[in-house]
Structure 1
């Protein structure tokens, strides 16, 4: 059975005709003079870049706070190498991997950080006096990822020896377009914070 078309309610066609005639009399300029909803449109246009800028500012502040936390943690823990307390606490036959793991445990012990402390990469390098100190960054500029071997080196420091302790960790970067100091680390778009301390150990022996 064929369905008959539904007719509009009585008077609808007449109202539409009057509206159309009013628009034609006033011309299309009547829409330009209508300012209803302007505030909502302006807020929508401004809110997106404004919120992005606020987020970038908060992310930058968080990065500075995380960098300060890492610097304090590395400085305080490296002090145990400076005095020989760390070396003296290692058992005989401790491997370089085990010593580095213990150093990271001390680095994270009783600390409140804004990043996973277990993700911190640390190098402990002992340098002879006749060798210059050349510290390379943790990021390989060619790949934009961690430099090969970084975070896996522990060279047992002796007394009265130059030691460099370098540490770095990746924190998420949600506003990378507004923050150019970001890298494509292996765990995603991240910002790398790093610190390094250099000192000569005490003649503790």
Structure 2
């Protein structure tokens, strides 16, 4: 009894042509090609929006906390940079704020033209300087305040911005104001 030989290729010639014309898996293949860029773009858009919201929240917290310096309340006692960081955290949601992620520099200057850029806050390696000053100034003096808030990024491995350092985005809030004449 001689059996029929099976071809090594499982499809017959007419089936192979119909396989090439078959479109039933096209959607799955197209989705596989597009899914990863789509999800990266979606997460990136959400993250950019979240960073903008957090940046506004930090700006508002700094404006509110700076009132202690501007009105002379900080000058009455031994008000330190750590206490100022706690004051900033008081205006932010508790889940967001960690004083270890906040760097503050407050300096008094002679004129508004002397207000410096935030580049002065970083050393040559791009790290935040350790010797940041906290000088609140006297009555009617001009004060420059820089606050850096380190926010963790989801897509930090892309490092799209120079501010992304070690998975953290450095959100900077700067204020220049003249202290009130409280004396």
What band does the TM-score fall into relative to the shorter chain? 0.7 to 0.9
What number of residue pairs does the alignment pair up? 180
Shift, 1:115, TM fit:
3.3
Q: Map 1:12-161 to 2 at 5 A.
A: 14=4, 17=6, 20=9, 23=12, 25-26=13-14, 28-88=16-76, 90=77, 94=78, 99-112=80-93, 115-118=96-99, 119-129=101-111, 132-137=114-119, 140=122, 142-143=124-125, 145-149=126-130, 152-161=132-141
Q: CA 1:57–1:82 in 2, change beyond 3 Å: closer, same or farther? A: same
Shift, 1:43, TM fit:
1.3
Shift, 1:125, TM fit:
0.8
Whether contact under 8 Å (1:138, 1:147) holds in the other structure is no
Aligned pair 1:192/2:170, yes or no? yes
Q: Following the alignment from structure 1 to structure 2, what is the Cα–Cα distance between the partners of residues 139 and 49?
A: 36
Gaps of at least 5 residues in structure 1 are 1-12
Q: Following the alignment from structure 1 to structure 2, what is the Cα–Cα distance between the partners of residues 68 and 202?
A: 25
Single out whichever of 32-41 and 113-122 deviates more from structure 2. 113-122
Q: Following the alignment from structure 1 to structure 2, what is the Cα–Cα distance between the partners of residues 46 and 183?
A: 30
1:84 partner SS: coil
1:163 partner SS: strand
TM-score by length of 1: 0.74
Give the alignment's Cα RMSD to 1 decimal. 2.9
Shift, 1:177, TM fit:
6.8
Shift, 1:153, TM fit:
1.5
Q: CA 1:114–1:164 in 2, change beyond 3 Å: closer, same or farther? A: farther
Question: 4+ runs of 1 displaced by more than 6 Å?
Answer: none
Whether contact under 8 Å (1:124, 1:154) holds in the other structure is yes
Residue 6 of structure 1 is matched in structure 2 by: none
Structure 1, residues 2-38: CA drift from partner, whole Å, max 9, x if none? xxxxxxxxxxx85x72795862x32743332122322
Q: Following the alignment from structure 1 to structure 2, what is the Cα–Cα distance between the partners of residues 21 and 204?
A: 92
